[in-house]
Structure 1
């Protein structure tokens, strides 16, 4: 069986951080993910996907992302249900994020430009207790920038 979801989109609102009675952090947010095709009027549509993330990654998402932030989510789909105040059963489908990637520098979508991002550039949580550390640091260091100079690559360096 396989239940895997990979999304890239923008947050539709600021993340909501809460804590369970046992003190475990949980953050909910919604990603707007553009569809790959246009409708009959030629407009691009988006899907609005509810996501939840737990523990330290939940705190990171709440601290470093905000409405409009570009993020990548890797996780699984989960469905659950509960009885509301009127006694009706409510079904919820959401993505449980195991890894959330921060895909742009802090402040990039608010017009602040290419600011160096000192916070975590990504965070993951496969076992909800072991945090993976991936690359962090400045987004300004582009290893593929050639500054207008020719790149010297021999045929022996190419993998094909």
Structure 2
């Protein structure tokens, strides 16, 4: 199974391009800064913290969403898969790539929280149907069928 869940902040605004042809598709590329804790070393009172910078690519509606709502500093959660590839650069050297292909993305903080940190995130997610960031549950679904009772 190839499944990735990440939470981090965009390092810059997404780079969005459109494919050529009749059925042009939006392609968004962005980098997430994802915090990583490093265990305490002897003599250190606290855990050290660093970040990994992970390249992400979104296609179609997800890319259009990124273009419209995601900006540098926005804290998001993404779900996707790892995709590797390679190409030969202009110097003739083989370069290996690793990207996360985004299948789902949503905001990880409210607009009010983002405003306190200087970000311009929206207060709803890509999949949310209401302004409060929660998805509607269809009528007739019993509470005992939900996993968080």
Range of TM-score over shorter length? 0.7 to 0.9
1:107-134 deviation per Cα after TM superposition (whole angstroms, max 9, x unaligned): 7534489x9x57xx223xxxxxxxxx43
Between the two proteins, the alignment pairs up a number of residues equal to 129
Corresponding residue number in structure 2 for 1:87: 92
Contact 2:56 2:100 in 1 (8 A): yes
Runs of at least 5 residues in structure 1 that lack an aligned partner in the other structure: 124-132, 142-157
Question: What do you get for the CA RMSD once the two structures are aligned?
Answer: 2.9
Structure-2 residue corresponding to 1:13:
12
Residue matched to 1:137:
131
Q: Aligned runs of 1:1-160 on 2, under 5 Å?
A: 2-22=1-21, 23-38=24-39, 40=41, 42-106=47-111, 108-111=113-116, 117=122, 121-123=124-126, 133-138=127-132
Classify 1:25/1:106 alpha carbon distance in 2 versus 1 (closer, same or farther; 3 Å). Answer: farther
Report Cα offsets for 1:51-81 as digits up to 9, x if no partner.
Answer: 0000011011121011110000000000011
Q: Which runs of 5+ in 2 are unaligned?
A: 135-147
Partner Cα distance (1:79, 1:28) in 2: 15
Contact 2:37–2:48, Cα closer than 8 Å, also in 1: no
Are the counterparts in 2 of residues 39 and 45 from structure 1 also a CA contact under 8 Å? no
d(CA) in 2 for partners of 1:75 and 1:112?
27
